[in-house]
Chain A
Amino acid sequence: MSRALKGTELAEKVGRGFPGAVAEANEQWVTVGAEQLVAVATHLRDDPELDFRYLIGVCGVDRLDHFEVVYQLQSLSRNHTAVLKTRALDHQEPQVPSLAPVWQGAHLQEREVYDLMGIRFEGHPDLRRIFLWDGFPGHPLRKDWLGMPGGRHAGLGKFPRED
């Protein structure tokens, strides 16, 4: 059974090597500031005790005032997982360092996040749009990207048979 490392546990281990890197930690995840992200990620990958050589996935989340990038990590040899997060505080021009040099697996996924979310990954070797064409207006997965005419949000305000 794969063990999920607690965010606090991980924060403690990271905090020893990189004081001030951890911005927030709870049961599920640990949030690392953008400045030290690459160093922390490299440590997570190379530390024999943690051994997060496998990056499961990269996902961007629009938190309305800032962006979050979520990294799911996996150690194959020790079979534990962890969730690493980082924040892009500028909602207009979000930017975080790229982890593609650390994990090659981030290469395509960061391009995807850039395309759909608009988060720029600094240091990415080939940051281009991937699904949408160049010149597509905006980044559709942002909460302020409105898909319908008249500025309306898509979807139902309320489900028909609810209460």
Chain B
Amino acid sequence: MKTEPFVVNVGPQHPSTHGVFRLRVTLDGERIVDADMIVGYLHRSMEKLAESRTYTQNIPFTDRVDYLAAMANNLAYCMAVEKLAGIEVPPRGQFLRVIMAELQRLANHAMAIGAFLNDCGAFYTPFQWMFREREHILDLFEMAGGARLTVNYMRIGGVSYDIPPEFMPAAQALLKEMPQRISEYEALLMENEILIARTRNIGVLPADLAIASSVSGPVLRGSGVAWDIRKADPYCVYDQLDFDIPVGTRGDCYDRFLVRMEELRQSVHILEQALDMLPGGPASVPVPLALRPPPGEVYARIEAPKGELGFYVVSDGSPHPYRWHIRAPSFINLTPLKDMVVGLTLADAIITLGSIDITLGEVDR
């Protein structure tokens, strides 16, 4: 039977595009025959703005790149500048950074899983449950740095403030609670027949396509590639910590969801060790306000919650970066989107997009 395809603009104002993302899909009935992504609604030209500000002044910008993982962005940028200027961060600062980055991963994955379930049509329940945990983590951020979302916590040479005394007991209490909470989520979500029916073998991303299209983070791991910058290229003190890389075997939405669930557990495990091993001493080294790194170029990367986050910074010896480039995982993870959604129904495409976990602040920058 011959049918007439029609074009639907999913977004920029759509409840499940996680921001101002627009997916232009050509539908034949409900099946997608063509898809094109249109982004840039949130483009702030951060890379240009950063060129006219000093290295320290650029840290708040990184908060706003991926506003759901501000700590990770801070960390990647500070590492890049430290690598450029040859600054060593004291051990306590390193551990604090790891603690914050892993807390941020917990918060981000909580949000990612909750929003993903929302896309699957669960009426906000997993979303709200996940927000309960995220709330505690944001409280911890507030204790440490004074802000909850755009934390601006890390500094070149360490962190802005050492943690207050009430941070440790609160963090310990949270960590004690987390494993059973995660088990609760697993019992509620992983075994849900409808969820499995919706996500199994949907939005399959084969490993070779995943590697070829440069995806990273849980999306790459969901496709069965054991790749994690924390293990492959350890930074801070990750080489002293014990953790595993969760990988899926099928590369479907369910696997990406599983990987995130398991990463929650691994992050808790890392945090338990890091809190135990937290050494004394200064949390940061003094760095001149108008830092003038020697001319050169450097690429520093971390395993951000959404994937490989890298900062490519070129210095010409002045207090401003000459070039400041962000390798944004959300953006690059969208590369295989078209291959993943063509042939699926509109509902599945929404789920697939949700399983990639994008933040539009990071996609558009």
Contacts and interface: CB of A to CB of B under 8 A. Distances in A.
A binds B: yes
Interface of A: 1-2, 28, 53-57, 59, 61-62, 70, 72, 76, 79, 81, 83, 103-109, 112, 116, 130-133, 140-141, 145, 147, 153-156, 159, 161-162
Nearest to A54: B211
Interface string B320-350: 1011010100011011100000000000000
Given A108-B332, A108-B335, A141-B48, A57 B327 contact: yes
A132 B212 contact: no
A132 B51 contact: no
Interface stretch (B23-31, B61-69, B128-136, B306-314): B306-314
Nearest to B335: A108
A109 B212 contact: no
A161 B289 contact: yes
Contacts of A59: 312, 323, 325, 327
Contacts, number: 109
Contact of A108 (B45, B49, B225, B334): B334
A61 B232 contact: no
B213 A105 contact: yes
Nearest to B56: A159
Contact of A104 (B39, B213, B239, B301): B213
A54 B214 contact: yes
A145 B365 CA distance: 18
A2 B308 CA distance: 14
Interface of B: 39-40, 43, 45, 47-49, 51-54, 209, 211-215, 225, 227, 232-234, 239, 289-290, 297, 299, 301, 308, 310, 312, 314, 319-320, 322-323, 325, 327, 331-332, 334-336, 364-365
B332 A57 contact: yes
Contacts of B301: 56
A59 B323 CA distance: 10
B312 A72 contact: yes
A56 B227 contact: no
Given A54-B211, A141-B48, 12 more contacts: A1-B234, A57-B312, A59-B325, A70-B297, A76-B211, A76-B225, A108-B332, A109-B214, A112-B331, A116-B48, A133-B40, A161-B290
Given A57-B312, A61-B323, A153-B52, A104 B227 contact: no
Contacts of B212: 53, 103-105
A108 B331 contact: yes
Contacts of B325: 57, 59
Contact of A61 (B39, B213, B314): B314
Contacts of A103: 212-214
A156 B322 CA distance: 13
A116 B332 CA distance: 16
A131 B22 CA distance: 12
29 contacts: A56-B301, A57-B214, A57-B299, A57-B310, A57-B327, A59-B323, A59-B325, A59-B327, A61-B323, A70-B297, A72-B299, A72-B310, A72-B312, A83-B299, A104-B213, A104-B336, A105-B212, A105-B214, A108-B335, A109-B214, A116-B45, A131-B40, A132-B40, A141-B45, A141-B47, A141-B48, A154-B49, A155-B51, A162-B289
